[in-house]
Amino acid sequence: MIKNDLFLRALKGETVERPPVWMMRQAGRYLPDFMKLKDKYDFFTRCRTPELATEITVMPIHQVGTDAAILFSDILVVPQAMNIEVQMKPGLGPWLPNPVRTTADVEKVIVPDVHETLGYVMEAVKMTKKELNNEVPLIGFAGSPWTIFCYAVQGQGSKNFDIAKKFCFTNPQAAHTLLQKITDTTIAYLKTKVEAGVDAVQVFDSWGGMLSPKDYQEFSWKYIQQIIDALKTEIPVIAFGKGCWFALDSMAKSGASALGVDWTCSPEMARKLTGGEITLQGNFDPSRLYSPPAQIKQMVHDMINQFGKDRYVVNLGHGILPDIPVENAIAFVEAVKEYKVW
């Protein structure tokens, strides 16, 4: 029995005394203890070593006080398992030396046995669950098929993912084949995480907002829907599409337990677009954590008042930035814990 189950209760739509709070990328670069490990071990070593992944996952629970933990990993472990080489270059980020650009390239991409290729993630889940000792729930995650596709085809991060989009529009059959392979792998990956012990999963569609509403339905959402359909009877599923406010109405009918919202969509608009019957998560601008702690607390209280305390998970509208002072992150969390309905 999880001692602090606020997060899971909010996902179920239950009445809560206050909303739960966690932060995307909370197990990361803003924490001094994380930076010490970063100096000793490269990125994918940290992901692939269950002891390190566990230590990093648990850090913000003890140091910041969030109501849920999210497993330290990366969305790009999935393409690595699919026979796509991914490197993490300092100062550049993800780098794929052999991007997928042709039908022949797509044919070389495999749907792996995730127990073999991603077993280290499952070990990290089991180890983290033991370390958390039922204090808070553990979230597992994956990138959306479209977001993984963007990196696989573009070969690196991008402001517009033009090469990835060109591939979709000039070779749609191969694009859909690749998207389906990613989807099948992601479903197997998340199901195995559920078996290993995670309490909820989140699908990150970081680059969905690069697509028009029509193209979003074709190249992104229908694949996320497959993931939700495969998992929704087993575990709560959160779908987060950055820049995808235009799809919130269809997302709300998906069977997901909650929808993430970024800071470009107001709480009022998000509630209106989703019909007010689904849990929402978000949507504090990560850059606003540069504000003084007293101002952060006031803004968080205002945000909760706008969303309402029920069917709501307090979070950022995207990942926490690396140079945010730890005390500001703590102020964000404390503001939620101090919240009272007046």
The span from the CA of 218 to the CA of 230, in Å, is 19
Start-to-end CA span in the chain (Å): 31
CB atoms within 10 A of CB 182: 26
Residue that has been written with the tokens 């924490």 in this structure: 31
29 among the known binding-site residues?
yes
Among residues 266, 268, 282, 278, which one has the least CA distance to residue 315? 282
On whether the CB atoms of residues 220 and 186 are closer than 8 A, the answer is: no
How far is the CA of 4 from the CAs of 130, 196, 201, 338, in angstroms? 15, 20, 17, 16
Chain centre distance of CA 187: 15
Q: Which residues pair with 139 in a beta bridge?
A: 70, 200
At 309, the amino acid letter reads: K
The span from the CA of 326 to the CA of 31, in Å, is 7
Helix residue ranges, H only, 12-140: 32-40, 43-48, 50-63, 77-81, 103-108, 114-117, 119-132
46 among the known binding-site residues?
no
Which residues, other chains included, contact 104 with Cβ-Cβ below 8 Å and sequence gap of 6+?
A: none
The span from the CA of 118 to the CA of 125, in Å, is 11
68 among the known binding-site residues?
no
246 among the known binding-site residues?
no
151 among the known binding-site residues?
yes
93 among the known binding-site residues?
no
On whether the CB atoms of residues 189 and 79 are closer than 8 A, the answer is: no
285 among the known binding-site residues?
no
206 among the known binding-site residues?
yes
- Two structure tokens written together for 154: 């573009």
Sign of CA dihedral 126, 326, 89, 82: positive
On whether the CB atoms of residues 149 and 209 are closer than 8 A, the answer is: no
Binding-site members for substrate are: 25-29, 44, 74, 151, 206, 318
Residue numbers in the known binding site are 25-29, 44, 74, 151, 206, 318
